[in-house]
Structure 1
Amino acid sequence: MYVAAKGGEKAIANAHRFLAEKRRGNPQLPEMSVEQIREQLGLAVDRVMAEGSLYDRNLAALAVKQAQGDLVEAAFLLRAYRTTLPRFSPSPVVDTGSMRVLRRISAAYKDLPGGQVLGPTYDYSHRLLDFSLMEPEAFAANVVYLVDKMIALPSRIPRLTEIVGSDDLVETPQEEPDQDPPVPDITEEPLEFPASRSARLQALARGDEGFLLGLAYSAQRGFGFQGHPFVGEIRMGYVPVEVELPGEDVKVRIGSILVTECTMLSRAEETGGCPFGFVQGYGLVFGANERKAMAMALVDRALRSRELGEEVRYPAQDEEYVLRHCDNVESSGFVQHLKLPHYVDFQAELVHVRRRDVKKSQGADDQGPSSVGSAGEG
Structure 2
Amino acid sequence: MITSIKGGEKAIDASHQLLSKRRRGDPNVAQLSVEQIREQLSLAVDRVMNEGSLYDPTLAALAIKQAEGDLIEAIYLLRAYRSTIPRFGFTLPLDTASMIVRRRISTTHKDVPGGQFLGPTYDYTHRLIDFALLDGCDDEDGLPLPDSDQVEDLHLHHDAGFISRTGLVEEELPDDSQEVADITRSPLTFPSTRDQRLQNLVRGDEGFLMALCYSTMRGYGRNHPYVAEMRHGDVSVVMEIPEIDLEAGIGTVQITECRTIHLTVGKSETPPRYTRGYGLLFGHSERKALSVAVVDRALRGAEFGEERRYPAQDEEFVLSHSDSVAASGLVQHLKLPHYVDFQAEQQLLRRLREDYDKRASEALAKENDDA
TM range (shorter): over 0.9
Is 1:283 paired with 2:279?
Answer: yes
RMSD: 2.1
Secondary structure of the 2:302 match is: coil
Q: What displacement does 1:218 show? A: 1.1
Q: Tell me: CA distance 1:272–1:238, structure 2 relative to 1, closer, same or farther (3 Å).
A: farther
- Structure-1 separation of matches of 2:154 and 2:72: 37
Is 1:220 paired with 2:217?
Answer: yes
Is 1:327 paired with 2:326?
Answer: no
1:130-279 to 2 correspondence within 5 Å?
130-136=130-136, 138-139=137-138, 142-148=141-147, 151=150, 153=152, 155-174=154-173, 176=174, 180-224=177-221, 226-271=222-267, 275=271, 277-279=273-275
Look up the match of 1:354: 350
Deviates more, 1:300-309 or 1:268-277: 268-277
Which amino acid in the other structure matches residue 191 of structure 2? P
Look up the match of 2:293: 297
- Structure-1 separation of matches of 2:210 and 2:268: 26
Contact 1:272 1:308 in 2 (8 A): no
- Structure-1 separation of matches of 2:153 and 2:235: 14
Deviates more, 1:274-283 or 1:92-101: 274-283
Contact 1:171 1:276 in 2 (8 A): no
Q: What displacement does 1:273 show? A: 5.6
Which amino acid in the other structure matches residue 211 of structure 2? G
Which amino acid in the other structure matches residue 170 of structure 1? V
> Between the two proteins, what is the percent identity of the paired residues?
51
Secondary structure of the 2:36 match is: helix
Contact 2:130 2:139 in 1 (8 A): no
Which amino acid in the other structure matches residue 319 of structure 2? L
Is 1:344 paired with 2:340?
Answer: yes
- Structure-2 separation of matches of 1:371 and 1:168: 78
Q: What displacement does 1:332 show? A: 0.9
Q: What displacement does 1:342 show? A: 1.2
Q: What displacement does 1:227 show? A: 4.5
Q: Tell me: CA distance 1:185–1:298, structure 2 relative to 1, closer, same or farther (3 Å).
A: same
Q: Tell me: CA distance 1:4–1:13, structure 2 relative to 1, closer, same or farther (3 Å).
A: farther
Give the unaligned 5+ runs of structure 1: none
Look up the match of 2:71: 71
Contact 2:98 2:153 in 1 (8 A): no
Q: What displacement does 1:360 show? A: 2.3
- Structure-2 separation of matches of 1:147 and 1:228: 36
Look up the match of 1:88: 88
* Residues 297-327 of structure 1, C-alpha deviations (whole Å, 9 max, x = no match): 1110110011221111111111111111111
- Structure-1 separation of matches of 2:66 and 2:262: 41
Secondary structure of the 1:307 match is: helix
Contact 1:269 1:310 in 2 (8 A): no
Contact 1:303 1:316 in 2 (8 A): yes
Q: Tell me: CA distance 1:4–1:20, structure 2 relative to 1, closer, same or farther (3 Å).
A: farther
* Residues 275-310 of structure 1, C-alpha deviations (whole Å, 9 max, x = no match): 551100111111111111011011101100112211
Contact 1:34 1:58 in 2 (8 A): yes
Q: What displacement does 1:161 show? A: 3.3
Q: What displacement does 1:28 show? A: 0.5
Which amino acid in the other structure matches residue 156 of structure 1? H
Q: What displacement does 1:356 show? A: 2.0
Which amino acid in the other structure matches residue 326 of structure 2? E
Q: Tell me: CA distance 1:199–1:273, structure 2 relative to 1, closer, same or farther (3 Å).
A: farther
Which amino acid in the other structure matches residue 217 of structure 1? Y
- Structure-1 separation of matches of 2:336 and 2:71: 22
Secondary structure of the 1:247 match is: helix
Secondary structure of the 2:103 match is: strand
Contact 1:273 1:308 in 2 (8 A): no
Contact 1:171 1:279 in 2 (8 A): yes
Q: What displacement does 1:118 show? A: 0.9
Q: What displacement does 1:169 show? A: 0.9
- Structure-1 separation of matches of 2:154 and 2:141: 32
* Residues 243-273 of structure 1, C-alpha deviations (whole Å, 9 max, x = no match): 0113122211111101111111111134566
Give the unaligned 5+ runs of structure 2: none
**TM-score normalised to structure 1 length:** 0.92
Q: Tell me: CA distance 1:227–1:19, structure 2 relative to 1, closer, same or farther (3 Å).
A: closer
Q: What displacement does 1:143 show? A: 3.6
